[in-house]
């Protein structure tokens, strides 16, 4: 079990992508490991034959423990020490049917619990279900008339991690939210006039989200009480401004981190976010790229949401939710003019900070966003 992050102590085996006895090339997908933040696809460090898999699906292992042996065909595998009871319990405590086997059974309308399991402790594996399908011996799932018909999907992977982390945090941290309306008309005007110049200068187009990230990073420097976390019953004041950026991917949500965002130009932030987004959607983010965030930003404006109250990303004190920009009528003196407005909502941990300083943060952030010249020149 490799350490896939500075804070990682254990990992859970999600799925083996190669079976015992099969050949594998260096760099080929070998195993999926679930950390405390995400599911990581791990490639083989060498070429050879997968002689033996020691790590059991759904079992948790300490960093440094042996999960498999890869070598030459016919090579003798060293004796494996007996697993401690804690490891055995981690397998036995899991479901009798592996998540992969359950999904396959659900697709074919099969009662996976009635399939004979050949895995550790009699667990039903994907191969067991497939064998039952091929043999025509797969028992049909009995119809349950006590509940409405529908698909039951076990929580797994990123969705399970998200559910556990956010549920635990919601029950502990008192969430409070404040919102403010921001006028992006000046930025939108600049974007029309200078988009080609920005592309040439920074190598990427700029959008409102890039401006918000840059302005948030600078504003946090003047409001250090928001750039904190609740760690071991105490307030941790971070020395860096590392922005977590929520990204929607298949299967859930990930929050990679833009490190030292307050020291980056808006163009550097834009490029970093786009690179992280590509890696996220290709499932190539490393645990290091998802650690160390001190404040988070989530933008649902692109999905047509006017405003929302985001949930905190533990142990962080604050998260900013961004709604869509809308052209709406507003009074300017005695005249009605069209303005490009969006609502920003700050959710904060009331254990660490009060409402008034958060309101001052939002007011300063709005002022920066409505006069964006400092970030664009």
For 199-238, the pLDDT digits (tens) are 999 999 999 999 999 999 999 999 999 999 999 899 999 9
pLDDT, tens digit, 9 for 90 and up, residues 131-153 = 888 887 777 766 555 556 666 67
According to the 3-state scheme, what is the secondary structure of the chain? CCCCCCCCCEEEEEEECCCCCCEECCCCEEEEEECCCCEEEEECCCCEEEEEECCCCCCEEECCCCCEEEECCCCCCCCCCCCCHHHHHHHHCCCCECHHHHHHHHHCCECHHHCCCCCHHHCECHHHHHHHHHHCCCCECCCCCCCCCCCCCCCCHHHHHHHHHHHHHHCCCCEEEEEEEEECHHHHHHHHHHHHHHHHHHCCCCCHHHHHHHHHHHHHHCCCCCCEEEECCEEEECCCCCEEECEEECCEEECCEECCHHHCCHHHHHHHHHHHHHHHHCCCCCHHHHCCCCEEEEECHHHCCCCCCCCCCCCECEEEEECCCEEEEEEECCEEEEEEEEEEEEEEECCCCCHHHHHHHHHHHHHHHHCCHHHHC
* pLDDT for the residue numbered 150: 67
Output 142 or 174, whichever has higher pLDDT: 174
Whether residue 99 contacts residue 152, with contact meaning beta carbons closer than 8 Å, is answered with no
Tell me whether residue 350 is one of the annotated catalytic residues. yes
Confidence of residue 123 (pLDDT cuts 50, 70, 90): confident
Whether residue 241 contacts residue 262, with contact meaning beta carbons closer than 8 Å, is answered with yes
Whether residue 61 contacts residue 88, with contact meaning beta carbons closer than 8 Å, is answered with no
Question: Is a pLDDT exceeding 90 seen at residue 344?
Answer: yes
Confidence of residue 37 (pLDDT cuts 50, 70, 90): low
Alpha-carbon span 39 to 341, nearest angstrom: 37
Fold exhibited by the domain 10-92: OB fold (Dihydrolipoamide Acetyltransferase, E2P) (2.40.50)
Alpha-carbon span 311 to 174, nearest angstrom: 10
Output 34 or 324, whichever has higher pLDDT: 324
Alpha-carbon span 229 to 87, nearest angstrom: 32
Alpha-carbon span 106 to 152, nearest angstrom: 8
Output 54 or 87, whichever has higher pLDDT: 54
* pLDDT for the residue numbered 86: 43
For the purposes of burial, counting CB atoms within 10 Å of the CB of 349, is it exposed (0-12), middle (13-18) or buried (19 or more)? buried
Tell me whether residue 354 is one of the annotated catalytic residues. yes
Output 222 or 192, whichever has higher pLDDT: 222
Report the CATH superfamily, name and number, of domain 173-376: Chloramphenicol acetyltransferase-like domain (3.30.559.10)
What mean pLDDT value characterizes the chain? 87
Catalytic choice (25, 121, 197, 354): 354
| pLDDT (mean) for 12-40 | 86
Question: Is a pLDDT exceeding 50 seen at residue 46?
Answer: yes
* pLDDT for the residue numbered 116: 87
- Sequence spans of domains, the chain: 10-92, 99-153, 173-376
Question: Is a pLDDT exceeding 80 seen at residue 88?
Answer: no
Residue 175 has, within 13 A of its CA and on its CB side, a CA count of: 21
Smallest CA-to-CA distance from 348 within 261, 229, 185, 222 is with 229
Alpha-carbon span 181 to 183, nearest angstrom: 7
The residue behind tokens 């922005």 is 243
Catalytic choice (25, 121, 306, 350): 350
Whether residue 208 contacts residue 225, with contact meaning beta carbons closer than 8 Å, is answered with no
Alpha-carbon span 14 to 103, nearest angstrom: 13
Task: List C-alpha distances in Å: 345 to 309, 349, 366.
Answer: 6, 14, 11
pLDDT, tens digit, 9 for 90 and up, residues 228-284 = 999 989 999 999 999 999 999 887 889 999 999 999 999 999 999 999 999 999 888
């Amino acid at each position: 079990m490799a350490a896939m992050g500075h804070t990682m102590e254990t990992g859970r085996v999600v799925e083996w992508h190669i079976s015992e006895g099969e050949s594998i090339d260096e760099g080929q997908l070998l195993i999926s490991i679930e950390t405390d933040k995400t599911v990581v696809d791990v490639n083989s460090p060498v070429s050879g034959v997968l002689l033996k898999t020691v790590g059991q699906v759904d079992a948790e292992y300490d960093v440094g423990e042996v999960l498999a042996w890869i070598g030459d065909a016919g090579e003798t595998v060293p004796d494996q020490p007996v697993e401690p009871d804690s490891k055995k319990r981690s397998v036995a405590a899991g479901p009798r049917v592996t998540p992969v086997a359950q999904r396959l059974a659900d697709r074919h309308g099969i009662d996976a619990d009635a399939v004979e399991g050949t895995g550790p402790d009699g667990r039903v594996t994907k191969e067991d279900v497939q064998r039952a399908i091929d043999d025509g011996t797969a028992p049909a799932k009995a119809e349950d008339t006590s509940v409405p018909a529908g698909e039951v999907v076990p929580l797994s992977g990123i969705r399970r991690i998200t559910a556990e982390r956010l549920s635990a945090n919601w029950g502990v941290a008192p969430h409070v939210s404040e919102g403010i309306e921001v006028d992006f008309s000046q930025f939108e005007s600049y974007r029309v006039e200078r988009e080609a110049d920005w592309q040439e200068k920074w190598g990427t187009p700029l959008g409102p989200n890039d401006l918000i990230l840059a302005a948030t990073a600078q504003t946090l420097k003047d409001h250090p009480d928001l750039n904190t976390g609740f760690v071991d019953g105490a307030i941790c004041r971070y020395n860096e401004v590392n922005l977590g950026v929520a990204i929607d991917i298949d299967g859930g949500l990930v929050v990679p981190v833009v490190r030292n965002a307050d020291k980056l130009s808006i163009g550097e932030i834009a490029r970093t976010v786009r690179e992280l987004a590509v890696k996220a959607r290709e499932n190539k983010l490393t645990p290091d790229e998802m650690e160390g965030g001190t404040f988070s930003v989530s933008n649902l404006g692109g999905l047509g949401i006017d405003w929302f109250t985001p949930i905190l990303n533990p142990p962080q004190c604050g998260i900013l939710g961004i709604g869509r920009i809308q052209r709406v009528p507003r009074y300017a003196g005695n005249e009605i003019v069209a303005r490009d407005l969006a609502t920003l909502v700050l959710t904060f941990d009331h254990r660490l900070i009060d409402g008034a300083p958060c309101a001052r943060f939002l007011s300063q952030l709005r002022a920066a966003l409505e006069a964006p010249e400092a970030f664009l020149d």
